[in-house]
Amino acid sequence: MKKSAAVRLGATLATAALAAATGLAVSTSSASAAVTGSATGYATQNGGTTGGAGGQTVRATTGTAIHTALCNRASSSTPIIIEVQGTINHGNTTKVSGSSCNTAAGVIELKQISNVTIVGVGSGAVFDQLGIHIRESSNIIIQNVTVRNVKKSGSPTSNGGDAIGMESDVRNVWVDHATLEASGGESEGYDGLFDMKDNTQYVTLSYSILRNSGRGGLIGSSESDRSNGYVTFHHNKYENIDSRTPLLRGGIAHIYNNHYVDLHESGINSRAGARAKVDNNYFEDSKDVLGTFYTSEAGYWQVGGNVFDNVTWSARSGDNQPAGPNPTSNTSVSIPYSYSLDNANCVPDVVNRTAGANKGNQVSNGNCTPQNPGPTDPTDPTDPPTDPTDPPTGTNLSLGAGADGSSKASGTSYGNVIDGNTGSHWSPSGSTGSVSVKWSSATSVSKAHIREASGSAGAIRSWRLLNHDTGAVLASGTTAGAVSFPRTSLKKITFEITGSNGTPRVAEFETYGG
């Protein structure tokens, strides 16, 4: 195996020897010119997605080197940018052990870690028959890579047959300018190209190609797995796919400016209560590109500006409910971030020129014109600041209201957050969960104050405040306390904890109108 070019500045002799053996080159640089642009879509929410920004940059030419870079960090959350060049396969990907990693052979394992960027550089990065598995992790960027022919049956197998798979409490992932491809469907041993399961949220897939597969991808592994969502798909090309472009079970997806061509059985499959905002896409030479399919549990969609070019529609019957031949909206979806829409008529051209690996990471400016991305800016100016030292004044609207939420820890109650008693509290059953305040009629709210219980201050690390009626994000942050947001009339407001240190405890969820 050929060694990487150089083991740069400041490495010890032991590290240099390890680098030479695994295909890892170490740099003291704190940034990488190879990483371009910044996250878009839902990946900008919940504190944003910055990957390994500000961390050390290393170069890897083997899968073992990728694992070594993760395991050599000071901690599992130490930022790192891993530049990948060459072909990563089973022959050069082994398990590496360390206190800052949890890896496995035969797969690129991003498990129980955070703040990582993997970016293809030079002549390109190809993950050949080897999937990328993200599990119990957050703040991950994958850019400019090709992942191909990952199998769940036959030989060799990897990652359950998913090109990129996310599961188990995953937060904030941005996959950009990737090429994900297979060479057939399930009968040939392949599964999904881009799958999200078991509480995966705040994900964006942008400027990527998904092709030659039976299954494009899914959000939710079953009708009961509805804890996933807040996913954006934009400027992607789905080509020669049987179904699942994507399949949505519960949650919210924003799907805009994608080019769909040669979908054989079905396309966007919104089911089990899912809601999809489907804007300015171009559907071509395909069948049943939008609807609820293969289930009696309906999903919903808001449509606008799409082009249907030689699309055929089945008759509605039983478990198959296509949206066409004249798709109309049956829900509304509020999007919390800003974005620019290209006209659907130019989508095939602009996506063809920008999507996929090794295309120069160009993006569209909303005027159908490819251009180099702007400077990275991980901040989200739309998120209102919190000020825990300045609690709201006036009447606490939560007193006398109702409360509910996700699974609660034993011995706690939803009602404890609206009783005005800071000596009682609610806790989720794990490190994440949600609690809501609700009224029988619409109530105008513009401020909230989350009071953590005595002895647990600082446990909440990331959160979102939601208009439960519409799903809109009113605010997000990393420190519990007081927050202001545009005055909103609603019947139910939800405080969602998306990350915490240990088990969080909320003593009071106060709401105010002034």
Range list of β-strands (E), 209-293: 209-219, 229-234, 237-243, 247-249, 252-256, 259-263, 268-271, 275-279, 282-287, 290-292
| Alpha-carbon 325 to chain mean position | 31
Q: What is the DSSP string of 311-337?
A: EE-PPPBTTBEE--SS---SS-----S
DSSP letter at 453 equals: P
Question: In angstroms, what CA-CA distances link 34 with 66, 424, 512?
Answer: 16, 51, 46
Residue from 304, 259, 305, 254 nearest 286 by CA: 259
The four Cα atoms 167, 168, 170, 176 give a dihedral, to 10 degrees, of -10
Structure tokens at 83: 């530049």
221 exposure class (CB count in 10 Å sphere: 0-12, 13-18, 19+): middle
- Respond yes or no on whether the N-terminal peptide bond of residue 156 is cis (omega within 30° of 0): yes
Residue indicated by tokens 């990952």 = 150
249 exposure class (CB count in 10 Å sphere: 0-12, 13-18, 19+): buried
- Determine the Cα angle at 241 with ends 320 and 359, to 5°: 140
- Determine the Cα angle at 65 with ends 63 and 67, to 5°: 75
Active-site residues: which are they?
Answer: 244
User: Strand 24-26 vs strand 56-60: parallel, antiparallel, or unpaired?
Assistant: antiparallel
Q: Which residues contact 77 (CB under 8 A, 6 or more apart)?
A: 113, 114, 115
Q: Are 61 and 2 in contact (CB under 8 A)?
A: yes
